[in-house]
Amino acid sequence: MHVEALCTMAQLAGGWSKKPVDDEQVKTMALFAVPHVQGEINHSNFFKLSSIDDVEAQVVSGMNYRITMTLEQTTSDKAAATQEGCEHQTASPAGKVAAWVHTSDPLIPGGYISVPVDREDVQEIARFAEPHLQSEIPHPAYFLLETVDKAETQVVAGTNYRLTLTLAKLLWSMKASVECNVIVFDQSWTNTRRVTSKSCGPIQFRAI
């Protein structure tokens, strides 16, 4: 599915010019636009960014970006999250949609937004974090990911995932569990993924 997103940072003024699709700021704008166009896709699943196909930019008191991108269907339910300053137009029969994002800053400020804990990318990041959290758990046993309790994302030159996870381990007749907080930076187009912050609380024991 092709989606046309217009990321506008001020009122229209100058002419449009081509921009490289691999430009870092273009990638940031495309990732920012993805959650906003979900409502224009006639499907219950979330669609993630697959590729940036064409980009035009317009210099104003800031910058306008007109981006054509391809979105790929995931197995996760569509997120209903909205962000301030984003408006949508009705999609055409061909699946095209225009989204306007308004800010006076040339870069969109990257605040964290809540996302569904069962979203496919969130679950993948949580599984990635599991082995990295073992050093924060005060026990020699390996604790397995049990649940994702909270998930937030932040669009930067890539995506920060801020997750609250429960890891657990069966120890004889007791179930040991621990709550951990982790931030994982992911940049899909360079295959970069790393843990930037991690911590775990005390182990809780419960008889089973």
Q: Are residues 45 and 96 in the same domain?
A: yes
Q: How far apart are CA 157 and CA 160, in angstroms?
A: 9
Q: 46 or 79: which carries more pLDDT confidence?
A: 46
189 falls within a domain: yes
Give the other-Cβ count within 10 Å of 42's Cβ: 8
Size of the chain, expressed as the number of residues it contains: 208
Task: Determine what percent of the chain falls in helix, strand and coil, rounding each to the nearest 5.
Answer: 20, 50, 35
113 falls within a domain: no
Would you say residue 88 has pLDDT above 80?
Answer: no
pLDDT band at 200 (very low <50, low <70, confident <90, very high): very high
108 contacts: CB under 8 Å, gap ≥ 6: 7, 28, 29, 32, 101, 155
How far lies 71's CA from each of 1, 19, 41, 79, in Å?
6, 20, 10, 15
Contact (Cβ atoms closer than 8 angstroms) between residue 54 and residue 21: yes
Q: Are residues 92 and 132 in the same domain?
A: no
Q: Are residues 97 and 125 in the same domain?
A: no
Query: Smallest Cα–Cα separation from 119: which of 28, 40, 48, 191?
Result: 48
Would you say residue 59 has pLDDT above 80?
Answer: no
Contact (Cβ atoms closer than 8 angstroms) between residue 22 and residue 189: yes
- Find the mean pLDDT for residues 97-124: 67
Q: Are residues 130 and 82 in the same domain?
A: no
Q: Are residues 126 and 89 in the same domain?
A: no
Query: Smallest Cα–Cα separation from 39: which of 4, 84, 93, 82?
Result: 82
CATH number at residue 81: 3.10.450
What pLDDT shows up at residue 99?
A: 42
For the record, the structure tokens of 199 come out as: 């911590």
112 falls within a domain: no
Would you say residue 104 has pLDDT above 90?
Answer: no
Q: Are residues 102 and 128 in the same domain?
A: no
Q: What residue numbers bound the domain in which 145 lies?
A: 120-207
- Find the mean pLDDT for residues 146-174: 91
Q: Are residues 126 and 167 in the same domain?
A: yes
- pTM, to two decimals: 0.53
Tally of domains within the chain: 2
- Tell me what percent of the residues of the chain surpass a pLDDT of 70: 75
pLDDT band at 5 (very low <50, low <70, confident <90, very high): low
Local structure of residue 93 (DSSP, 8 states):
T
- Find the mean pLDDT for residues 181-193: 91
What pLDDT shows up at residue 62?
A: 62
Q: Are residues 102 and 18 in the same domain?
A: yes
